[in-house]
Amino acid sequence: MPPGAVLEPEYAVGKGLITQDEFDAVKNEFFAQSELSVGLILPLVCLASAISYWLVAWQRIAVSGFVILFSFLLYLVAVERRFQYRFELKILILGRWDKAKETAKDSSGSSKPTVAETKQTVTENVNVTLDLKPLSVKLEK
C-alpha cells in the first residue's frame, strides 16, 4: 500500500502517476455531477418557498413534501457521485503505483549484477601490459 500522500490527486499528478488530463476527465465525469446536485438543493428550496407563498395550506404541504423528497434524491446523487469520484481516482492511482513499483523492481533487478558475476567479469578481462625500458612484462589470461 502506498503512503497516504500518493492517493492525493495533486501529488499523483506531480509525481507523474497520472496525467492532468486523466485527473480532469475523472473530475469532470463524477465530481462535477456531485457539485451540481448539491448546488441545486438551495435554488429548489427558494423556488418552492416563492411558489408556496400564494398557495393554500394543503398545497404548501404537498410542495414541501415534494421539495423534501427531491432534495433528498439530489443529496443521494451527490453522495454517490462523490464516492464514485474518489473510488475511480483511487483505483487509477493505485494501478499506476503498482505498475511503477513493478517496473522499478524489474529494472533494478536486471541492472545490478551479483557479486559472483562481477568477480567473474573482472577475472576474465584482466589484461595488463607494463612497458619499462629494460623490462617488458605482459600479463594475459
| Chain CA centroid to CA 101, Å | 14
Residue 98 in domain: yes
Number of domains in the chain: 1
Query: For residue 117, is pLDDT > 90?
Result: no
**Residue count (the chain):** 141
**Residue 90: closest CA among 21, 25, 14, 26:** 26
Residue 134 or 69, more confident: 69
Residue 135 in domain: no
Residue 140 in domain: no
Question: In this predicted structure, what is the pLDDT of residue 112?
Answer: 58
- Number of helices and strands in the chain (H, E): 6, 2
Residue 128 in domain: no
Residue 118 in domain: no
Residue 66 in domain: yes
What are the pLDDT digits (tens) for 73-114? 999 999 999 999 999 998 888 888 888 888 888 876 655 555
What are the pLDDT digits (tens) for 3-57? 677 778 888 888 888 888 888 898 998 999 999 999 999 999 999 999 988 889 9
Domain span holding position 15: 4-112
pTM over 0.75? The answer is no
Residues in contact with 136: Cβ distance below 8 Å, sequence separation at least 6, in sequence order: 130
Question: In this predicted structure, what is the pLDDT of residue 133?
Answer: 60
> What is the C-alpha R_g of the chain?
34
Question: In this predicted structure, what is the pLDDT of residue 65?
Answer: 94
Residue 92 in domain: yes
CB 141 within 8 A of CB 124: yes
One-letter identity of residue 42: L
Residue 12 in domain: yes
